[in-house]
Amino acid sequence: MLGLAIAGGVWLYGLVLFISADGHFEVTLPRQRIPPAEVHNFSLWDLGPTIRASSFFADWDGLHHPAFLVDGRTSPNNVEKWASAERDRDPWIEIIWRESHDLERVVIRHAGSVESEGLTADRYTLRCLTASGHGPSLEVTSNKKAIASHDLACATARGLRIEFEPKNRKDIIRIFEVETWGR
């Protein structure tokens, strides 16, 4: 009986840990090359960024992984995009770089760049992440561009966070690529 009680107690502790997990996604890609000195997209996959996301759409055939946000593909197919999960009411993504950069511009390749224009996200907020927390941010309220370029100056930035507002409760967010340009 004592053994059962101990096992039950251990399991209950595990249950608390399980319930308290927030289930967000995070992956760090291995660095494949040193970043150049000139203006470049420092979120590219081979520079070894860390990608975090509130969720992703993870069907067997249609797995829209957050790493596709930084794969640098110029002609992706429909699968090679990040899509939030259907249950995700507050989708967000973060791209964290290995070192600080002076961010100048953010380019987002929305769903409309490959798929239907109606799937492009129109409301979102770009937040520059710095060592001390949040830096400058930019709120986009009515985006219509399939490939949207947003000026966002942020010195010694460590990353970028984008928070999306789905048009409808069950809508999922679809983004093919996020580019962060600067030095």
Partner 1 sequence: MSRRRVNIALGAIVALGVVLRVLAWRYEPPHHPDEFFQYLEPAWGRLTGVGIETWEWRNGIRSWVLPGYHGAWMAILMRLGVHDGSTIAKLLQAHWALLSMSLVWAGWRGGLLLARQLGPNRDAAVNSGDESGDEPAPAGWQGGLVGALLCAAFPLQVRFSIHTLSEQASILCMVCALVLTADLASTAGRVGRGKAVFMGVLLGLGICLRIQHVPVPLVAVLWLLLSRRFALAAVACAASLLPMLAFGLVDRLTWGGFFASFIHYVKFNLVEGGASIFGTMPWTWYWQQFLHRLPTGLPILGFLCLVGIRATWPFVASALGLTILLSTQAHKEERFVMLFWPLVLIAAAAVAGAWLGLRVTAVGKEGAQLGHRRLRTWLVRCVILAGLAVVLVDGARHGRDNDFPELFPARFEAQVWVGRQADVTGLLYDSPLYTGGYMWFSRNFPQLKIRSTLLGNPLFSHVLVPRKSEWKRVAERAGFAEVFSKDEMIVLRRTAEPVSESALRQ
Task: Please tell me the distance from the alpha carbon of residue 98 to that of residue 133, in angstroms, as a whole number.
Answer: 16
The count of other CB atoms within 10 Å of the CB of residue 88 is 20
When binding is defined by CB under 8 A, the residue of 3, 6, 26, 88 that contacts partner 1 is 26
Question: Is the Cβ–Cβ distance between 163 and 127 less than 8 Å?
Answer: yes
CA dihedral sign, ordered 161, 165, 166, 167 = negative
- Return the structure tokens found at 21: 């997990």
Q: Which of residues 45-104 bind partner 1 (CB under 8 A)?
A: 45-46, 53, 55-61, 63, 65, 67-68, 71-73, 76-77, 79-80, 85-86
Q: Does 38 bind partner 1 (CB under 8 A)?
A: no
Q: Is 27 in the site for partner 1 (CB under 8 A)?
A: yes
Closest CB to partner 1 among 80 and 115? 80
Site string for partner 1, 4-23 (x = CB under 8 A): ------xxxxxx-xxx-x-x
From 6, 24, 116, 149, residue interacting with partner 1 (rule: CB under 8 A): 24
The reply on whether position 141 binds partner 1 by CB under 8 A is no
**Is 34 near partner 1 (CB under 8 A)?**
no
Q: DSSP state, 113?
A: G
Contacts of 105 (CB under 8 A, 6+ apart): 149, 150, 151, 152, 180, 181, 182
Residue choice 2, 5, 30, 169 for contact with partner 1 (CB under 8 A): 30
Distance separating alpha carbons of residues 159 and 128, to the nearest angstrom: 6
CB of 63 to partner 1, least distance (A): 5
Instruction: Please tell me whether residue 176 binds partner 1 under the rule CB under 8 A.
Output: no
> Which secondary-structure segment (H or E) carries 10?
helix 2-20
User: Looking at this protein, which amino acid is placed at residue 19?
Assistant: I
Helix then strand then coil, % of the chain, to nearest 5: 20, 40, 40
Closer Cβ to partner 1, 91 or 135, answer by number: 91
Binding site for partner 1 (CB under 8 A): 10-15, 17-19, 21, 23-27, 29-30, 45-46, 53, 55-61, 63, 65, 67-68, 71-73, 76-77, 79-80, 85-86
